[in-house]
Amino acid sequence: MAENDNNIKRGALVVLEGLDRSGKSSQSVKLVSFLENTGCAAELWRFPDRETCVGKMISSYLANQSQLDDHTIHLLFSANRWEKRSLMEDKLKAGITLIVDRYSYSGVAFSSAKGLDFEWCKAPESGLLNPDLVLYLDVPPEKAAERGGYGGERYERLDFQKKVGEKYESLRDSTWKIVDASLPMEEVHKQVKEYVMECVLSCANGKPLTQLWLQ
Ligand code: T5A
């Protein structure tokens, strides 16, 4: 499928971001099923990937079953993305669209909201694959907190989620689309699928695969 590394016909790298309980997982599942129904090869990915050795350490930390220094857990989240980078590239070059539930932006927003330096947080993410589209599911933290299962994990506190939302604002670039995620689930799906179809078509026609946050 590849023509050359500058302009390859490939799958799209689509990332969903947002506060805890903004609806990322629900929308990711709906998107993959929509794409498959239109005959487009698509896979659902999520970070943290809790199945790897690194992912198990992260999962235990998030469940408050272990304690780690803030810098250490930040680097583990990043390592968890690096360990999947080459497989992601292979899939995209094979024409498979990846719908990814959280990515580097979560890494930077959550760690910098704890007080770590913003640029320091970005550094280990530099060189990962650059998403073609970032869908930010925008919901007031108070509304997200009313949704099912909130409060079970380490970062699910209203005051902290407000800070995370501010950090996300500093990360926005031209690949981002802001979606009103306080609307009913089907309406949110309608918005996101339009953005995604446009992106999938442009990657299928040939688009360079670039790297994130390189100087
Ligand atoms: N983290 C993550 C870092 O600190 N650094 C990193 O590098 C990374 C990758 C785990 C935590 O790790 C942090 C961020 C997180 O705190 P996670 O496992 O993705 O990340 O945790 P959550 O974001 O909390 O994932 P959730 O699955 O819990 O939330 P989602 O996916 O945003 O929401 P979803 O779809 O599961 O929906 C939650 C509830 O809301 C309802 C659903 O039915 C469900 O009950 N809902 C709606 N209700 C009304 N209207 C809508 N539009 C709705 N959409 C969903």
133 within 8 A of 14, measured Cβ to Cβ: yes
Strands 133-138 and 13-18: parallel
Residue 182 alpha carbon, nearest atom of ligand 1: 52
Looking at residues 182-191, what average pLDDT do you find?
A: 98
Determine whether the shortest distance from the Cβ of 185 to ligand 1 is under 6 A: yes
Question: What kind of architecture, by CATH, is found in domain 7-204?
Answer: 3-Layer(aba) Sandwich (3.40)
For 56-75, write each residue's pLDDT tens digit: 999 999 999 999 999 999 99
Q: State the CB neighbour count (10 A cutoff) for residue 112.
A: 23
Phi, psi of 28 (to 5 degrees): -65, -45
The domain segmentation of the chain, as residue ranges, is 7-204
Looking at residues 187-201, what average pLDDT do you find?
A: 98
Q: What is the percentage of the chain residues whose pLDDT exceeds 90?
A: 93
Task: Give the C-alpha separation, 141 to 205, whole Å.
Answer: 38
Determine whether the shortest distance from the Cβ of 161 to ligand 1 is under 6 A: no
Average pLDDT, the chain: 96
Looking at residues 41-49, what average pLDDT do you find?
A: 98
Residue 50 alpha carbon, nearest atom of ligand 1: 18
Q: Reply yes or no on whether the pLDDT at 84 is more than 50.
A: yes
Residue having the nearest C-alpha atom to atom 55 of ligand 1: 23
What spacing in Å lies between the alpha carbon of 140 and ligand 1's midpoint? 13
Determine whether the shortest distance from the Cβ of 20 to ligand 1 is under 6 A: yes
Q: Which of 106, 122, 154 to mutate to test the pocket of ligand 1 (most atoms within 8 A of CB)?
A: 106
14 within 8 A of 42, measured Cβ to Cβ: no
What spacing in Å lies between the alpha carbon of 20 and ligand 1's midpoint? 4
For 141-151, write each residue's pLDDT tens digit: 999 999 978 88
Determine whether the shortest distance from the Cβ of 77 to ligand 1 is under 6 A: yes
